[in-house]
């Protein structure tokens, strides 16, 4: 892994943290009686492009499928960067990617669910 791929992996980790915080707020509001947890969740694309503003909508179970492995991220179709990841699941309107070994170490170290 070089400096560039490390930076790209850290960009994705930052987007994942943003999505996790948004999901935590939604869950907290539901526990407090302000609505319920939706079947579908909106999240930002977790690709390596720091300027990406794509918003994804996916089933909660697909979001959880990505979060079940610290090396996985949710990106928009066409946003997969083969230099740092590979596609593992093609969803309706989103793709779950998995980091290559070097970048996976960053993903695991920055996993908010760890």
pLDDT digits (tens, 9 = 90+) for 92-114: 899 999 999 989 999 999 999 98
Parallel/antiparallel/unpaired status of strands 55-59 and 85-90: unpaired
- Has residue 35 got a pLDDT over 90? no
Residue 56 β-bridge partners:
43
72 membership: H or E segment, kind and range:
strand 72-75
- pTM of this prediction? 0.88
Q: Where does 1-114 have alpha helices with state H?
A: 3-31, 60-67, 101-109
Burial (CB < 10 A; 0-12, 13-18, 19+), residue 113, is: exposed
Segment 71-94, tens digit of pLDDT: 999 999 999 999 999 999 999 899
CA 81 to each of CA 30, 58, 59, 93: distance values in angstroms, whole numbers, following the listed order: 35, 20, 23, 17
Domain ranges of the chain: 3-109
């Amino acid at each position: 892994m070089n400096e560039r791929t490390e930076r790209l992996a850290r960009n994705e980790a930052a987007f994942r943290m943003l999505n996790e915080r948004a999901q935590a707020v939604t869950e907290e509001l539901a526990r407090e009686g302000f609505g319920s947890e939706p079947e579908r969740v909106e999240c930002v694309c977790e690709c390596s492009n720091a300027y990406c503003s794509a918003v994804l909508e996916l089933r909660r179970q697909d979001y959880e499928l990505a979060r079940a492995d610290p090396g996985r991220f949710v990106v928009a179709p066409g946003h997969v960067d083969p230099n740092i990841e590979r596609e593992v699941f093609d969803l309706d309107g989103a793709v779950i990617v998995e980091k290559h070994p070097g970048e996976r170490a960053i993903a695991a170290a920055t996993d908010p669910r760890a």
